[in-house]
Amino acid sequence: MCFHGGGYACILIFVLKIYLFFEDGAG
- pLDDT tens by residue, 1-27: 566 666 888 888 889 999 999 887 765
Q: Give the pLDDT score at 25.
A: 74
DSSP notation for the chain:
--TTT-HHHHHHHHHHHHHHHHHHHH-
CA distance 24 to 2: 23
The boundaries of the domain holding residue 20 are: 1-27
Q: Give the pLDDT score at 19.
A: 92
CA distance 9 to 17: 12
Q: How many domains does the chain have?
A: 1
Q: Give the pLDDT score at 27.
A: 56
Q: Give the pLDDT score at 16.
A: 92
Q: Give the pLDDT score at 24.
A: 78
CA distance 23 to 27: 6
Contact 3, 11 (CB under 8 A): yes
